[in-house]
């Protein structure tokens, strides 16, 4: 039987932020990290709500994946309701990554771009899949990972808690071994240092406290553009005669980049998560770095297609691809924002893309109407509020709140 042994966590504001909007919870067997957004301390509130939802015991029904997803849905609704009822919290949201250790497995629930990694035998495996605009472009082959790392819109996420009344929660289950080290982190770490640097630190620092300190230090030395939070814990064997090199694993949900994660949406979310494969099914290995993952090659050979089957299959595949691209684009626009003015000349935050299609179809919607007429904004700063530049939710809200408080200097 495996258990989470030594645990440590660190958080740091970074070098370019005034406050810390990250929150964390580390009490074996449950570990949670959340990175808030929204500005004006709203992000801090959102991440705290998300983490506090896990302070009580998990539900006593369902699989570990289902339990984590159910709590994530509760947190999402709390954040959403507060953001709609309190003016100063409008538009707040947060990422969430939660890991639960049970029966030699790691159950994970994930929304956003915080991450979970597993370090084993000198290799680092990414256990989550970023919900970001550039992440979608990488998946479609439009960007390389190197280009994504430098993309000006890499901070725009396509999914977060609190943005809508319902949220899709991705879940996975991975087999674990004694000696594994698990890392949860906010993007303040991974946007500053490479996975190779993380490997070097974990390989050279067996003491987790020292490793956590070094991760924070190197992220700050690289610029520290965002809050940085890390959770580290090791797994150890307690009791039983299991061979830790060949562990018995019940099974795992599909890996990111293969069939895709289980996901949930709405009130019935917990009941709709895909179950793990049966005990007789061979478990897949923990994935290596995300960029090395490919399509699942384990499918059985298929019969030779008939003369009409191939064209039909091709048309069906094309339709599916178009649908997925459209769905991905829609999800992306849920996290794209721009600032402009409404018909009355009031500074307004819009969600979506600043374009209109024929027949009056708009690709955007009103997200927040301020109390500031554009004419009251200093003339040199009005261009910032009318240029339709795509922004993250937090950037848009911070800019408009500054205008409301008269903090836009000439």
Write down the mean pLDDT value for the chain: 78
DSSP letters, 80-121, are HHHHHH-GGGTT-EE-EEEEEEETTEEEEEEESS-EEEEEET
Kindly report whether the peptide bond that precedes residue 29 is cis, defined as omega within 30 degrees of 0: yes
| Parallel, antiparallel or unpaired: strands 181-185 and 115-120 | antiparallel
Instruction: Specify which residues 8 forms β-bridges with.
Output: 232
How many C-alpha atoms does 92 have within 13 Å on its Cβ side?
32
- What does the DSSP 8-state code read for residue 384? G
Q: What percentage of the chain exceeds 90 in pLDDT?
A: 43
Could you list the residue range(s) of the whole structural domain that residue 389 is in? Answer: 337-404
- Same domain? 284 vs 342: no
Domain end (from 235, 263, 292): 292
Q: Do the domain assignments include residue 165? A: yes
Whose CA is closest to 184, among 232, 239, 224? 232
CA distances from 154 to 42, 134, 147, 260, 322 (A): 21, 6, 10, 22, 24
Q: Which positions of the chain have pLDDT values less than 50?
A: 241-259, 265-285, 288-309, 321, 324-325
Reference 331, options 208, 191, 160; nearest CA is 160
Give the DSSP H/E element, type plus range, for residue 195. helix 195-204
Give dist(CA 64, CA 51) in Å, integer.
17
Do 12 and 106 fall into the same domain?
Answer: yes
Q: What is the largest CA-CA distance in the chain?
A: 75
pLDDT of residue 324: 46
Provide the pLDDT for residue 138: 76
Query: Is 256 a member of any domain?
Result: yes
Residue pair 114/23 in contact by the 8 Å Cβ criterion: no
Confidence (pLDDT) at 205: 95
Q: Kind and range of the H or E element at 45?
A: helix 42-52
Rounded Cα distance between 93 and 157, Å, is: 11
Give the pLDDT score at 352.
87
Same domain, 74 and 159: yes
| Residue-level pLDDT at 378 | 85
Identify whether residues 148 and 70 lie together within a single domain: yes
Q: Are residues 93 and 232 in the same domain?
A: yes
What residues have CB less than 8 Å from 181, skipping those under 6 apart? Answer: 118, 119, 120, 202, 208, 232, 233, 234, 235
Residue 67 shares a structural domain with residue 211: yes
Same domain membership, residue 367 and residue 287: no
Q: What is the per-residue pLDDT for 332?
A: 58
Helix (H) or strand (E) holding 354: strand 346-357
Would you state the pLDDT for residue 172?
A: 96
Which residue from 112, 219, 118 is spatially nearest to 173, judged by alpha carbons?
A: 118
Q: Which pLDDT score, from 0 to 100, does residue 284 have?
A: 39
Same domain, 219 and 278: yes
Q: Would you say residue 318 lies in a domain?
A: no
For residue 302, being part of any structural domain is answered with: no
């Amino acid at each position: 039987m495996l258990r989470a042994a030594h645990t440590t966590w660190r958080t740091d504001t970074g070098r370019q932020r005034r406050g810390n909007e990250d929150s964390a919870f580390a009490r074996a067997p449950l570990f949670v990290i959340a990175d808030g957004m929204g500005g004006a301390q709203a992000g801090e509130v959102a991440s705290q709500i998300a983490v506090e939802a896990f302070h009580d015991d998990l539900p006593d029904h369902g699989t570990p994946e289902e339990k984590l997803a159910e709590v994530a849905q509760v947190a999402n609704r709390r954040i959403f309701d507060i953001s709609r009822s309190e003016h100063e919290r409008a538009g707040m949201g947060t990422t969430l990554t939660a890991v639960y250790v049970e029966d030699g497995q790691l159950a994970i629930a994930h929304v956003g771009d915080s991450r979970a990694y597993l370090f084993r035998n000198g290799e680092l495996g990414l256990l989550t899949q970023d919900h970001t605009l550039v992440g979608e472009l990488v998946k479609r082959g439009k960007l390389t990972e190197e280009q994504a790392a430098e993309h000006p819109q890499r901070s725009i996420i396509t999914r977060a808690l609190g943005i809508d009344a319902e949220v899709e929660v991705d879940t996975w289950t991975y087999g674990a071994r004694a000696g594994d080290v698990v890392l949860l982190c906010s993007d303040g770490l991974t946007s500053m240092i490479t996975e190779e640097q993380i490997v070097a630190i974990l390989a050279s620092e067996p003491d987790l406290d020292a490793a956590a300190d070094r991760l924070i230090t190197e992220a700050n030395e690289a610029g520290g553009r965002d809050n940085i939070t890390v959770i580290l814990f090791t797994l150890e064997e307690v009791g039983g005669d299991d061979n830790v090199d060949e562990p018995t694993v019940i099974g795992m949900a599909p890996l990111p980049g293969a069939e895709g994660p289980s996901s949930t949406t709405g009130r019935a979310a917990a009941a709709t998560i895909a179950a793990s494969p049966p005990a007789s099914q061979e478990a897949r290995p923990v994935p290596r770095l995300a960029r090395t993952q490919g399509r699942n090659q384990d499918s059985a050979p298929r019969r030779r297609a008939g003369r009409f089957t191939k064209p039909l299959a091709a048309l069906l595949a094309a339709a599916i691809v178009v649908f997925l691209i459209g769905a991905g684009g829609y999800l992306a626009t849920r996290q794209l924002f721009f600032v402009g003015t409404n018909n009355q000349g009031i500074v307004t935050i819009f969600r979506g893309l600043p374009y209109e299609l024929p027949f009056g179809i708009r690709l955007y919607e009103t997200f927040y109407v301020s109390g500031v007429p554009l004419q009251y904004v200093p003339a040199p700063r009005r261009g910032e509020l009318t240029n339709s530049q795509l922004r993250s939710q937090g950037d848009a809200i911070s800019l408009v709140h500054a205008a409301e408080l008269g903090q836009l200097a000439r």
